[in-house]
Structure 1
Amino acid sequence: MAPMLILAALSAAAPLFARASEDLFGLAPCELCLWQRWPYWVAAGLALGAALWPRGRGWLGPLAVLAVLASGAIGVFHFGVEQGWWPSPLAGCQVPQSMGGSVEDMLRSLQAAPSKPCDAPAYLIPGLPVSMAAMNTLYALGLSALGLIWMRRGAKA
């Protein structure tokens, strides 16, 4: 039970840390940044369910790990967009393009909240060339490995 509670807490910690980095360090998220957070919330809920419902632990735990891996997969995709390996298909990731018309028309077409292009990496630590997307990928891989180790040890007990 305790490992699943820890997995739930560490899963919830990732999007909370990302949100705190916006407020504390002024990092602006792009649309892919926001997408990376949702699987962590799913993982936290599944891991919490596995901790509270022992009969469901055999399938809720692996689903929680898969949700963490889903965030890591989005992180890999996001990192590829940042590196220019491929474009993002999300409209919110693109820099707004002017389609002609007046300045007033252009201003009316802008989103209410400013949007950051997904190919502009956000760096938490100045001088360290590891973007938030890359950090998320590493965190997701580590957390999912830890979750698998905990489940394997639990299965042997």
Structure 2
Amino acid sequence: MTNLSRARLIAILLPNALLWGAIGSQVFGGLVPCEMCMWQRWPHVAAIVLALIAIALRGNPSASRAFTLLAALAILVSGGLGVYHAGVEYHWWTGPTRCTGNHFTSIADLMKAPVVMCDVPQWKLGGISLAGFNAIFSIVGGLIVAALASRKPAR
């Protein structure tokens, strides 16, 4: 298996695993995603589409490599959003006021509030929230995909 083949495989499997894991935690675990959780899903959807295009173009290594690198970038974007969201959850910085718990100025604001606040993690393991896990897996995985796809084949 070539490095590019490995990169394509990771680029299709990793965002699928993270996306379906998030959906599974929602459907089977009863967790309700906040707005920032949803933001992290879209780059994974884009990465899956880009990886599928890369696989379809495997007969054209240059084009396949380009789409694999774009998939890696999409995975890294989700990881960056995960870092931002985790920072909001750990109160390292403030998030968007429409989905954090400290912005209510009136009863009307409270009535328009989302059910799930972005600054309150619903689940943690070892002190790491789901946003934190998405950040870790997406950044490490995206960098691996990019590194593998960037290597030129041995001659």
5+ residue gaps, structure 2, are: none
Q: Give the Å deviation of 1:6.
A: 4.0
Partners of 2:34 and 2:118 within 8 A in 1? yes
Whether 1:48 and 2:55 are equivalent positions in the alignment is no
Higher normalized contact order (CA 8 Å, seq sep 6+, divided by chain length) = 2
Q: Give the Å deviation of 1:89.
A: 2.1
- Secondary structure of the 2:83 match is helix
Specify the code of the residue in structure 1 equivalent to 2:82: G
- Secondary structure of the 2:28 match is helix
Q: 1:30 to 1:57 in 2, by over 3 A?
A: same
Residue in structure 2 matched with residue 156 of structure 1 by the alignment: 153
| Whole-angstrom CA distance in 1 between matches of 2:124 and 2:25 | 8
- CA deviation profile, 1:91-140 (whole Å, cap 9, x unmatched): 2x13473625xxxx789x446xx521111012254xx2110011001110
Q: 1:13 to 1:90 in 2, by over 3 A?
A: farther
5+ residue gaps, structure 1, are: none
Structure 1 runs of 4+ aligned residues shifted over 2 Å read 94-100
TM-score, normalization by structure 1: 0.80
Q: 1:50 to 1:136 in 2, by over 3 A?
A: same
Residue in structure 2 matched with residue 17 of structure 1 by the alignment: 21
The CA RMSD over aligned residues, in Å, is 2.3
Q: Give the Å deviation of 1:9.
A: 2.6
Of all paired residues, the percent bearing the same amino acid is 34
Q: Number of residues paired by the alignment?
A: 146
TM-score, normalization by structure 2: 0.81
